[in-house]
């Protein structure tokens, strides 16, 4: 009877090692897949977050940019310059404020003139006087309303420049204030400027005041003349301005005062010449006898003016002065 060989045993250690390796491999694979999945999720979250941020940035660009652009372009270059000069009006430097007023005036814009308006109350007289001419780009009545209070300024040259500025407005609203200045201002410069302004405006309501001014004069002879020589010259200027203004207005109501001045040999030559010119502008035939009476005046310029006026009034009978 034969002997059977014992059954071969499977090496348990080797089998156990292979199984363990498979388990380790499976675990590592699962761990790797888990980590990969986690990484993919994290990457996805980051990508989503970055995408959301990019989207928000895009929205901000398209939504906020128009507002930013609008803020930047809300003021035109001219408006920015006006605001710059307006700010300079608060400077402590008088010349700086005056320069700002002149720059605003040079723009010749209503909004620039509105920016100047506070300078009419500036502490410095030179700034107030400059501002009087700088508001003239406003509508005439608006400018006149701003200027009229300055006719009562303490400084004569501010009142004078204000009167000239009112004449440039041509606003009839200034007539009453200017006639008051013509009658009451203590300085001849202010009265003369008021007369000039009234002539520029051309309102007939000013004729009585101008005629009254033309009839006033300071005596020009004797000791009194030597004492008041300067005053006489000033009043001659005011009378001359009144004569010119009456001619500009062109109302026949001014003819009697002009004739009286023309025939007054004590009046200054310049005043008489302007009276003759004014009579020519008015064109009233009633002035012809007075004009003929000065054809032989000692002042050749007056005679020539009178002849030219007569040629217009009486084309056929005017005689050339000898």
- Measured in residues, the chain has a length of 322
Task: Please state which of the ranges 8-12, 154-158, 188-192, 221-225 shows the lowest mean pLDDT.
Answer: 221-225
The pLDDT assigned to 157 comes to: 97
Task: Please state which of the ranges 16-30, 112-126, 158-172 shows the lowest mean pLDDT.
Answer: 16-30
Residue 75: band (very low, low, confident or very high) from pLDDT cuts 50, 70, 90: confident
The pLDDT assigned to 67 comes to: 46
The pLDDT assigned to 64 comes to: 46
Assign residue 222 a region (left: φ > 0; alpha: ψ between -120 and 50; beta: otherwise): left
Could you tell me which residue, 4 or 138, shows the higher pLDDT?
A: 138
End-to-end CA distance of the chain: 191
Residue 197: band (very low, low, confident or very high) from pLDDT cuts 50, 70, 90: very high
The pLDDT assigned to 320 comes to: 64
pTM above 0.85, yes or no: no
Write the CA distances from 115 to 29, 71, 125, 257, 299, integer angstroms. 82, 22, 18, 43, 51
Task: Please state which of the ranges 21-25, 94-98, 172-176 shows the lowest mean pLDDT.
Answer: 21-25
Position 124 pLDDT exceeds 70: yes
Could you tell me which residue, 138 or 35, shows the higher pLDDT?
A: 138
The pLDDT assigned to 318 comes to: 61
Number of H helices, E strands in the chain: 16, 0
- Which residues have CB under 8 Å from 143's CB, separation 6+? 113, 135, 136, 165, 169, 171
The pLDDT assigned to 65 comes to: 46
Structure tokens at 186: 């203590």
Position 263 pLDDT exceeds 60: yes
Sorted by where each begins, the domain ranges of the chain are: 78-138
Domain 78-138: give its CATH code: 1.25.10.10
Q: Residue 134, exposed/middle/buried by CB under 10 A (0-12, 13-18, 19+)? A: buried
Q: Residue 219, exposed/middle/buried by CB under 10 A (0-12, 13-18, 19+)? A: exposed
The pLDDT assigned to 72 comes to: 46
CA nearest neighbour of 197 among 141, 248, 253, 236: 248
Position 221 pLDDT exceeds 80: no
Task: Please state which of the ranges 83-87, 143-147, 213-217, 295-299 shows the lowest mean pLDDT.
Answer: 213-217
Q: What is the DSSP letter of 118?
A: G
Q: What is the DSSP letter of 70?
A: H
Q: What is the pLDDT of residues 200-212, one digit of tens each?
A: 999 999 999 999 9
Q: What is the pLDDT of residues 42-70, one digit of tens each?
A: 555 655 555 555 555 555 554 444 544 45
């Amino acid at each position: 009877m034969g002997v059977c060989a014992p059954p071969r045993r499977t090496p348990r250690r080797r089998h156990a090692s292979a199984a363990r390796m498979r388990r380790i491999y499976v675990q590592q694979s699962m761990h790797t897949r888990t980590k990969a999945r986690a990484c993919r999720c994290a990457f996805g979250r980051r990508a989503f977050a970055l995408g959301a941020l990019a989207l928000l940035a895009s929205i901000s660009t398209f939504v906020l940019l128009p507002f930013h652009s609008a803020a930047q372009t809300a003021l035109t270059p001219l408006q920015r310059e006006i605001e710059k000069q307006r700010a300079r009006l608060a400077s402590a430097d008088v010349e700086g404020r005056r320069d700002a007023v002149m720059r605003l005036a040079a723009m010749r814009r209503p909004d620039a003139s509105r920016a100047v308006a506070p300078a009419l109350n500036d502490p410095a007289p030179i700034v107030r006087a400059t501002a009087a001419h700088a508001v003239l780009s406003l509508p005439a009545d608006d400018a006149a309303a701003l200027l009229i209070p300055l006719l009562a300024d303490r400084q004569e040259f501010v009142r004078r420049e204000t009167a000239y500025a009112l004449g440039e407005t041509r606003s009839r609203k200034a007539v009453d204030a200017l006639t008051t200045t013509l009658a009451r201002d203590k300085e001849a410069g202010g009265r003369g400027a008021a007369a000039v302004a009234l002539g520029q405006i051309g309102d007939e309501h000013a004729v009585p005041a101008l005629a009254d001014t033309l009839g006033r004069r300071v005596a020009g002879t004797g000791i009194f003349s030597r004492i008041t020589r300067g005053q006489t010259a000033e009043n001659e200027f005011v009378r001359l301005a009144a004569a010119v203004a009456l001619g500009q207005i062109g109302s026949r109501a001014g003819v009697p005062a002009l004739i009286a001045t023309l025939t007054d040999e004590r009046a200054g030559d310049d005043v008489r010449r302007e009276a003759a010119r004014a009579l020519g502008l008015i064109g009233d035939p009633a002035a012809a006898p007075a004009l003929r009476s000065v054809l032989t005046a000692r002042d050749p310029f007056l005679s020539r003016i009178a002849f030219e006026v007569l040629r217009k009034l009486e084309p056929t009978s005017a005689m050339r002065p000898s």
